[in-house]
Amino acid sequence: MAEGSRGGSLAFGQVVIGPPGSGKTSYCHAMREFLGRLGRRVAVVNLDPANEALPCPCAVDIGELVTLADVMASLGLGPNGGLLYCMEYLAANADWLRDRLQGLRGHYVLFDCPGQVELYTHHQALKDVFAQLAKWNFRLAAVHLVDSHYCTDPGKFISVLCTSLSTMLHVELPHVNVLSKMDLIEQYGKLAFNLDYYTEVLDLSYLVDHLASDPFFRNFRRLNEKLVEVIEDYSLVSFVPLNVQDKQSMRQVVQAVDKANGYSFGDQEHRSLEALMSAAVGADFHFSSTLAVQEKYVQSQDKAVEEEVMDL
């Protein structure tokens, strides 16, 4: 647990959540490497009992307590029911997790969580685990990963916005929504609007109008308008674009998460961060923005168009 205020010991970290295939495990290990280069002592805790192919050893692995395969075999449950049972079992055996975390004093902790959406929208078990971590002096931010390819489908993007909002309201942690795999977004087609429209979740009426141009969605215009109204009434959801192979992108996410969970880094880490970014992009580096990501995306689109023209 990382040293915090003078009055006691605080532990800082992230709970990494999101649907299956959104890149949670890859994010955890990329973030561990990035923060390690800044001088932070980082530990990864695997809380996904279905995660059997860990790319690197974890400091704590829920597999020592319970695994999805064992639960399915012994109780005759399917994957979804088995995963819910595993999380309820973890919540009921929170002392096991507390004992394991005692050995991580002085570390910044990344919790790699399961990928079942119900756990973050209405099920209570994992929320109870997060509440226990708060009682143990953990100051956490929820990093909710969403695959960026959903931006290329307006209907799916509205669904993602609803899920993200529901997750923020249920989990009750400082929240950072992340569009992951930005380096692959051009493979799924051209965006209907500029990238900042999706990251900042701007006027969604344009998205409803775009959907209405599709004969299938035209019949559901009223429903989509009401869903959009709910999202805009709360005005909570926005996204940070992420490419784990891009240091500028990683820095932007770190900055957002540190602001969310209250982590205050010292001068030494600040110097390490500046040195790392200077080596990556030159001495005149400034904080990255969505515009930089947008430019990369537009350049890749222009290149693809040029290649199509040359083929003709």
b/e 39-75 (16+ beta carbons within 10 angstroms → b)? ebebbbbbbbbbbeebeeebbbbbbebbbbeebbeee
Structure tokens at 278: 């200077």
* pLDDT tens over the chain, length 312 residues: 544 443 448 899 999 999 998 999 999 999 999 999 999 999 999 999 998 777 778 999 999 999 999 999 999 999 999 999 999 999 999 999 999 999 898 899 999 999 999 999 999 999 999 999 999 999 999 999 999 989 988 889 999 999 999 999 999 999 999 999 998 887 877 888 888 899 999 899 988 998 888 888 888 899 999 999 999 999 999 999 999 989 999 999 999 999 999 886 554 566 566 666 655 544 343 334 555 666 666 566 566 555 654 565
Q: Residue written as tokens 């599709």?
A: 214
Sheet holding 175-180, edge to edge: 60-61, 42-46, 108-112, 11-17, 138-147, 175-180, 240-241
Token pair listed for 124: 């209570």
125 DSSP β-pair partners: none
Domain ranges of the chain: 11-192+240-265+282-311, 202-236
Q: If you write DSSP's letter for every residue of 40-60 in order, what string do you get?
A: --EEEEE--TT----SS--SE
What pLDDT is recorded for position 55?
A: 75
Residue 216 burial class via C-beta count within 10 angstroms: exposed 0-12, middle 13-18, buried 19 and up: exposed
DSSP 9: B
Nearest Cα to 245, choosing from 293, 291, 183? 183
Locate 52 and state its tokens. Answer: 């059997």
Tokens 């003078």 locate to 6
The total of other beta-carbon atoms located within 10 Å of residue 188's CB is 15
- Residue carrying the six token digits 């990369």: 296
- Is there a contact between 143 and 35 (Cβ–Cβ < 8 Å)? no
The whole-angstrom separation of Cα 42 and Cα 12 is 10
> What CATH architecture is 11-192+240-265+282-311?
3-Layer(aba) Sandwich (3.40)
Query: In degrees, to the nearest 5, what angle opens at C-alpha 234 toward C-alphas 143 and 135?
Result: 45
Using CA atoms, how far residue 148 sits from 9, 69, 131, 308, in Å, is 37, 30, 29, 24
In this prediction, residue 71 carries a pLDDT of: 96
Per-residue pLDDT at 61:
94
Measuring CA to CA, which residue among 25, 72, 16 is closest to residue 53?
25
| Alpha carbons 86 and 264: distance in angstroms, whole number | 34
Q: What is the rounded CA–CA span in Å between residue 244 and residue 197?
A: 22
Q: What is the pLDDT of residues 32-66, one digit of tens each?
A: 999 999 999 999 999 999 987 777 789 999 999 99
